Structure 1
Amino acid sequence: MSLIDPLIAFVSAHAWLAYFTIFLAALLEAAPVLGSIVPGSTIILALSALIPGGELQLIAVLAAAASGAVIGDGTAFWIGHRSKREILSAWPMSRYPGLIAQSETFFNRWGTLAVFFARFVPPVRAFVPITAGALAMPPLRFYAVNIPAILLWAPAHVLPGVLAVSALHEYGGLPHHTHIGKIVWIPTVIVIATIAGAATWWRHRRRGINVPVKTSSERTG
């Protein structure tokens, strides 16, 4: 606990920095190319573990994660929407022809639903919004699917950390400063069960799109 205590003390004194870090992690995770490198989900999950002890607030963490994802996805979409298909072959996208081809195949296969499912599938998540914009998906249709996906994605990344640490507080003897209330447990279990069921269904459906994607050099070779 000697290494954790200073972190908790720092976050308690600078909660705004933790919220900003969560916002930035969610935003950068949605950025093309960069989103496949930044461990945004890990950062969000780790900081969410500080909610049960009262260092961070659940609603504020969810809001920071969701707003970062909305801005990140929206920015990528509008870059693609304005630049059209040329952006998909421009640097730095041109360095990842396999992922670009996979994202385009993913989008062409699933259409509007690709925007929803991609939010839960790294590293495609970092490429589908810009691909959707480049392929002229209507903005209203994009946001109508993207925002509900984010509203599910944020709890799916935040609540597991809350549940795990709450269990340690409740049954493992881990001390805590404030009690988040049993009302959190019921929606937490429901959401996690829903996400787990959706993930299981998605893994079976996803098998149909995991085909090898050849780059242009492989096709000519």
Structure 2
Amino acid sequence: MTSFLDPLIAFVSAHPWLGYLTLFLAALLEAVPVVGSVIPGSTIILALSALIPGGELKLQWVLLAAALGAVLGDGSAYWIGHRRQREILNTWPLTNYPRVVAESESFFHRFGTWAVFFARFVPPVRAFVPVTAGALGMAPAKFYAVNIPAILAWAPAHVLPGVLAVSALHHYAGLHHHEHVGKHIWILTVVGGAIVLALALWIRHRRNGVTAAKSQA
């Protein structure tokens, strides 16, 4: 992964406007069913956020590009599902991923409306829950009422760890040039992974609590 990210970071450093476009596309494609399960959108966003402390990219525009991409990606997937209903879940290419589709549907049934919020932070169902929500008849107003706040929380959660980590490196190790950033991508990945892991453990704990409550009822 580092062999891919290092050239990308160097290229974006020289062409900042393409950096915002890359962030937008990474967030958008990550929300597309099937495509989102193979595109390392979160990793790209986390890595490019490392350029913010050096001034190559601006925090507000990074957050905006990531949020807009996620909104468009989630919204497009939702409306495809909403338009075609359950038929879309039994149509290619989703039929090539029966396990993830089943997990997404189970995730939606387990958490209800909140599944749209939680799925933003849990790959690979993140790329499948919006289309599943539409296919299962979730109302548009209810979808966006949960999806927009989820994205507003998701964008900083993916961008700020990279900013804070690189700022700390600059402060404590005197790293003032973006050429050094690629060598420390692993730190950013660990930070991002810790966030995702913590959320996944919380969801698992909540699921076990719901299961226990049902068994006692």
- TM-score higher than 0.5 here? yes
Tell me: CA distance 1:77–1:12, structure 2 relative to 1, closer, same or farther (3 Å): same
Tell me: CA distance 1:166–1:199, structure 2 relative to 1, closer, same or farther (3 Å): farther
- Tell me how many residue pairs correspond in the alignment: 192
Partner of 2:112: 111
Which whole-Å deviations, capped at 9, do the CAs of 1:73-107 have from their partners, x for residues lacking one?
00000000001100000000011111111111111
Q: Judge conservation of contact 1:156–1:195 (CA < 8 Å) in 2.
A: no
Q: TM-score, normalised by structure 2?
A: 0.81
Q: Judge conservation of contact 1:107–1:132 (CA < 8 Å) in 2.
A: yes
CA shift for structure 1 position 203: 4.0
Which of the two has greater helix per residue?
Answer: 2
Q: Quick one: distance in 1 between partners of 2:206 and 2:144?
A: 24
Answer yes or no: is 1:71 the counterpart of 2:62: no
Answer yes or no: is 1:201 the counterpart of 2:202: yes
Given residue 145 of structure 1, which amino acid in structure 2 is its aligned partner?
V
Q: Quick one: distance in 2 between partners of 1:118 and 1:104?
A: 11
Tell me: CA distance 1:108–1:6, structure 2 relative to 1, closer, same or farther (3 Å): closer
Q: Quick one: distance in 1 between partners of 2:35 and 2:8?
A: 27
Q: Quick one: distance in 1 between partners of 2:207 and 2:26?
A: 26
Q: Quick one: distance in 1 between partners of 2:177 and 2:57?
A: 12
Q: Judge conservation of contact 1:30–1:125 (CA < 8 Å) in 2.
A: yes
Given residue 51 of structure 2, which amino acid in structure 1 is its aligned partner?
L
CA RMSD across the alignment: 2.6
CA shift for structure 1 position 11: 2.8
Q: TM-score, normalised by structure 1?
A: 0.79
Q: Quick one: distance in 1 between partners of 2:8 and 2:108?
A: 41
Higher Rg of the two aligned structures: 1
Question: Does 167-176 or 62-71 show the bigger shift?
Answer: 167-176
Partner of 1:144: 145
Moved over 3 A (4+): 4-10, 193-200, 206-210
Given residue 43 of structure 1, which amino acid in structure 2 is its aligned partner?
I
Q: Judge conservation of contact 1:52–1:176 (CA < 8 Å) in 2.
A: no
Q: SS of the residue aligned with 1:102?
A: helix
Answer yes or no: is 1:158 the counterpart of 2:153: no
CA shift for structure 1 position 66: 0.5
Tell me: CA distance 1:91–1:198, structure 2 relative to 1, closer, same or farther (3 Å): closer
Q: Quick one: distance in 2 between partners of 1:8 and 1:168?
A: 17
Q: Quick one: distance in 2 between partners of 1:5 and 1:132?
A: 37
Given residue 84 of structure 1, which amino acid in structure 2 is its aligned partner?
Q
Residue segments in structure 1 that go unaligned for 5+ positions in a row: 178-192, 211-221
Q: Quick one: distance in 2 between partners of 1:153 and 1:82?
A: 26
Q: Quick one: distance in 2 between partners of 1:97 and 1:152?
A: 29
Report the identity percentage.
73
CA shift for structure 1 position 204: 2.0
CA shift for structure 1 position 163: 0.5
Partner of 2:95: 94
Question: Does 150-159 or 6-15 show the bigger shift?
Answer: 6-15
Answer yes or no: is 1:174 the counterpart of 2:156: no
Q: Quick one: distance in 1 between partners of 2:32 and 2:17?
A: 23
Given residue 33 of structure 1, which amino acid in structure 2 is its aligned partner?
V
Which whole-Å deviations, capped at 9, do the CAs of 1:88-135 have from their partners, x for residues lacking one?
000000111111111111111111000000000000001000000001
Partner of 1:85: 86
CA shift for structure 1 position 14: 1.3
Tell me: CA distance 1:209–1:41, structure 2 relative to 1, closer, same or farther (3 Å): farther
